[in-house]
């Protein structure tokens, strides 16, 4: 039996679902790739860009191309732990290139989440992708099938941002230099 409060709640919920900032969309690898390729506009529109996952030279080149354009954006990359195999070597080289271009990099072996958070506190503009996407050629070329969600919901994004900060600043997140030294990588 429905109460008056249930009806009011349902009415409010239905209205909120229609507002753009409260929507959550399913995103394919093509949509994610097209979003990432507009990195130069992200640097202009956001104060912070925080991402986690695996990286390779395809994304590092995008960062390298646009990072020195006079923006004031804080970029942080949080890599999942990696081995000395080919994928790990690609990830390490991409992270080095990104770090050399001003990106703050950390590695955390306990992380599995892949996310991209773009945030601007002054304009209250934010967006987030959360899914199986990595910042690699396989993902960004469509060779691998990925899916995720995208939202501009401030509650969801600020929660994910808090999660990212907690992991990025935790004692088990290592600088790239320290991680590579501990794992026996040579430059």
Q: What is the pLDDT of residues 43-95, one digit of tens each?
A: 788 889 999 999 988 888 888 877 766 666 889 999 999 999 999 999 999 99
Judge whether residue 9 has pLDDT over 70.
Answer: no
pTM: 0.81
Q: How many residues does the chain have?
A: 187
According to the model, what pLDDT value does residue 36 have?
80
Average pLDDT of 163-173?
96
Q: 10-19 burial, b if ≥16 CB within 10 A, otherwise e?
A: eeeeeeeeee
Residue 97 in this model has a pLDDT that exceeds 90: yes
Question: pLDDT at position 43, please?
Answer: 78
pLDDT bracket for residue 27 (50, 70, 90): confident
- 109 pLDDT above the threshold of 80: yes
Output 167 or 62, whichever has higher pLDDT: 167
First CA to last CA across the chain, in angstroms? 67
Tell me, what's the pLDDT at 66? 74
The residue with tokens 């994910």 is 160
Q: What does the alpha-carbon distance between residue 51 and residue 62 come to, in Å, rounded to a whole number?
A: 14
Q: Is the pLDDT of residue 12 over 80?
A: no
Pick the closest to residue 40 from 59, 63, 14 (CA basis): 63
Residue 75's closest CA among 86, 88, 63, 59?
63
Q: Tell me, what's the pLDDT at 1?
A: 60
Fold held by 25-183 = Endonuclease; Chain A (3.30.870)
């Amino acid at each position: 039996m429905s109460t008056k409060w249930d009806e009011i709640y349902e009415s409010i919920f239905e209205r909120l679902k229609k507002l753009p900032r409260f929507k959550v969309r399913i995103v394919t690898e093509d949509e994610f790739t097209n979003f990432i390729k507009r990195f130069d506009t992200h640097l202009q529109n956001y104060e912070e860009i925080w991402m986690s996952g695996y990286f390779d030279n395809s994304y590092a080149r995008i960062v390298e191309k646009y990072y020195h354009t006079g923006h004031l954006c804080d970029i942080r990359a949080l890599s999942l732990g990696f081995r000395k195999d080919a994928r790990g070597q690609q990830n390490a080289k991409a992270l080095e290139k990104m770090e050399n271009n001003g990106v703050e990099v950390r590695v955390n072996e306990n992380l599995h989440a892949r996310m991209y958070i773009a945030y601007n506190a002054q304009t209250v503009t934010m967006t987030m992708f959360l899914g199986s996407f990595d910042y690699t050629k396989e993902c960004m070329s469509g060779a691998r099938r990925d899916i995720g969600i995208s939202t501009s919901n401030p509650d969801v994004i600020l929660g994910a941002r808090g999660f990212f900060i907690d992991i990025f600043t935790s004692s088990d997140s290592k600088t790239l230099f320290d991680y590579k030294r501990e794992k026996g990588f040579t430059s």
